[in-house]
């Protein structure tokens, strides 16, 4: 057939597309078999995502809602505080490159875990500090991270971070995803404290 690519070329092209990205040119990251997920809440999810996505070993970040009682929550409801959900971030990471404990240590440096239901100008239960653990190992590491953070001297008041089992996580609306990448200089109350 005139103009047809040889089979070897087609196979090489398909292999390249599978490993290099999708048809839109987006780079795809291969998730390792042992990839893990962490779910954290610490105020407005925009700033949390901006800091956490930059950690080496983080494969994906998604902002969303969890920890409440409303099915299929939307931002307009979550922002009222009536759903019980917290603005949260789900982090998929490679534990061979980044430990769960290291993520939690950064978490305690980037938000104030001593202000129940508040981060900066954001007030309400939807802005609470929380770690939503998956399994006993994550629960134990969360408790150890709270103790490390309290002992660090960075926080003078008691840490009030909620430690709860992870439940259903609902991704937030698309306009919230990667918000500070789309809107550099947009609102955030997150920064790294040393």
Catalytic residues: 44
* Interatomic CA distance for residues 165 and 38, integer angstroms: 11
| Diameter of the chain measured on Cα atoms | 76
* Interatomic CA distance for residues 70 and 83, integer angstroms: 5
Helix (H) or strand (E) segment spanning residue 93: strand 86-93
Q: What is the DSSP letter of 51?
A: H
Residues contacting residue 7 through CB under 8 Å, at least 6 positions apart: none
């Amino acid at each position: 057939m005139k103009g047809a690519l040889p089979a070897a070329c087609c196979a090489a092209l398909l292999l390249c597309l599978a490993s290099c990205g999708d048809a839109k040119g987006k780079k795809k990251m291969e998730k390792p078999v042992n990839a893990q997920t962490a779910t954290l809440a610490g105020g407005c999810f925009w700033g949390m995502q901006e800091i956490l996505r930059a950690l080496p070993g983080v494969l994906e970040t998604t902002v969303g809602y969890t920890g409440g009682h409303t099915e299929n929550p939307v931002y307009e409801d979550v922002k009222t505080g009536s759903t019980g959900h917290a603005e949260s971030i789900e982090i998929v990471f490679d534990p061979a490159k980044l430990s769960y404990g290291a993520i939690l240590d950064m978490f305690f440096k980037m938000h104030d875990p001593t202000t129940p239901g508040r981060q900066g100008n954001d007030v309400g239960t939807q802005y609470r500090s929380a770690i939503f653990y998956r399994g006993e190992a994550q629960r134990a590491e969360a408790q150890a991270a709270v103790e490390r953070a309290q002992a660090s001297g960075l926080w003078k008041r008691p840490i009030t971070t909620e430690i709860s089992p992870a439940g259903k996580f609902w991704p937030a609306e698309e306009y919230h995803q990667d918000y500070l990448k789309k809107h550099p200089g947009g609102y955030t109350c997150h920064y790294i404290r040393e």
